[in-house]
Amino acid sequence: MRLRPRKGIERMDRCVHGGINHAEVRGYGLDPAKVLDFSSNINPLGPPFDLARLLEADMARYPDPAAEELRALLAQKHRVDVGQIFVGNGTGEIIRLLALAYLQRGDRVVVMAPTFGEYAYAARIAGAGVIEYRTRAESDFVPDWEAFVSFLGRHRPRLVFLCNPNNPTGYYLDAADFAAVLQQAPGLVVLDEAYVNFVRDAWSSETFLPAGNLVVLRSMTKDYALAGLRLGYALGPKEVVRVLERVAPPWNVNAFAQRAGVLALQSDDYLARTRVAVAESLAFLQRGLRERGFHPLGTQANFFLLPVGDAALFRRRLLRRGILVRDCASFGLPAYARLAARPLHECHILLDALGEGDGFWLTLPATGGIIP
């Protein structure tokens, strides 16, 4: 007898993410450690502390199930009660836990597409229906917030997921528009601020927590370059935090990740230096792309969209040269690639590859597309 999963699971494809697929890269005859990765939106400065300090964590003991030291530092940083903080194995885990705890078959979830795929994926695993409000390429994916608020009023979702700044578009929602969304939403609003520490002059989402229907997500893997460890946290009402604690796996955040989080929060000027480095990288990279006939979109994050005509082809051809970019087909944008800020010497290598005169690249001025 064949054992079948719950209805609908068999038809689901895995959620696509950036990052290096080691098997794929080796298939090109490349060493994964030497590939230049523009596909992952990770801080180009690397971790803010000596990695040897992670060995201060005791490998022979179970990690603190409550992550008390880390939560205390986060509470101090955000000026909230420690009971309003949940620490997870990356924000991906927290998104799944929110769906597990709050969604069931027949519920509605609203996402503003194109956006991070885990929101819809987690909702569908839970059996909920996903309703997309889709922004348009003609407006450079800038949302019409009045229309979105009306959209929420019509569909009355149980959960709303918003990514701010949005992945992959880099659009940053302002506080006044968010206030209107929060007021209109009948259920829980999840504001994913994975990339907010890359934004200059970001507004404080903590001021909206008293509304009672807001959960804010932060991903320390992006801004503190801890992707290999997986670490994220949520700020929200105490009752939501207690629910997340009930549905989370035991010891969900390992000792090394907890130690890394503590060390990262003690690095005083790291995020300020990060914003300077990211701004310099993006300005250099986008200027070089324009000089080569491309038309990169504006951004307030540490990544941007680039119209390339055929993103799968664009990605393959760069990968043969040891450079990885994100094909945005999984976002519903097969004509776009996403590129992240990287150290300047890596940006030079990418631009040199795009400027090669061997017939490899042929830019279409009208579209920024690529002729095979």
Rounded to whole angstroms, how far apart are CA atoms 195 and 214?
A: 18
On whether the CB atoms of residues 36 and 225 are closer than 8 A, the answer is no
| 268 contacts: CB under 8 Å, gap ≥ 6 | none
Helix axis angle, 118-125 to 91-102, nearest 10°? 40
| 290 contacts: CB under 8 Å, gap ≥ 6 | 296
Tell which residue, 314, 64, 116, 96, has the closest CA to residue 222.
116
Tell which residue, 55, 74, 42, 97, has the closest CA to residue 324.
42
22-46+271-370, which class in CATH? alpha beta
Q: What is the pLDDT of residue 1?
A: 64
Q: How far is CA 80 from the centre of its chain?
A: 24
On whether the CB atoms of residues 246 and 218 are closer than 8 A, the answer is no
On whether the CB atoms of residues 149 and 129 are closer than 8 A, the answer is no
Phi-psi group of 200: left, alpha or beta (phi > 0 → left; psi -120 to 50 → alpha; rest → beta): beta
Tell me the domain boundaries of the chain.
Answer: 22-46+271-370, 51-265
Q: What is the pLDDT of residue 18?
A: 87
**51-265: which CATH number, 3.40.30.10, 3.90.50.10, 3.40.640.10, 3.30.200.20?**
3.40.640.10
On whether the CB atoms of residues 174 and 155 are closer than 8 A, the answer is no
On whether the CB atoms of residues 52 and 42 are closer than 8 A, the answer is no
pLDDT along the chain (372 residues), means of 10: 78 84 93 96 94 85 96 98 98 98 97 98 96 96 96 97 98 97 97 98 97 97 94 98 98 96 94 97 98 97 98 96 97 97 98 72 42 35
| Count of Cβ atoms closer than 10 Å to residue 255 Cβ | 19
On whether the CB atoms of residues 307 and 367 are closer than 8 A, the answer is yes
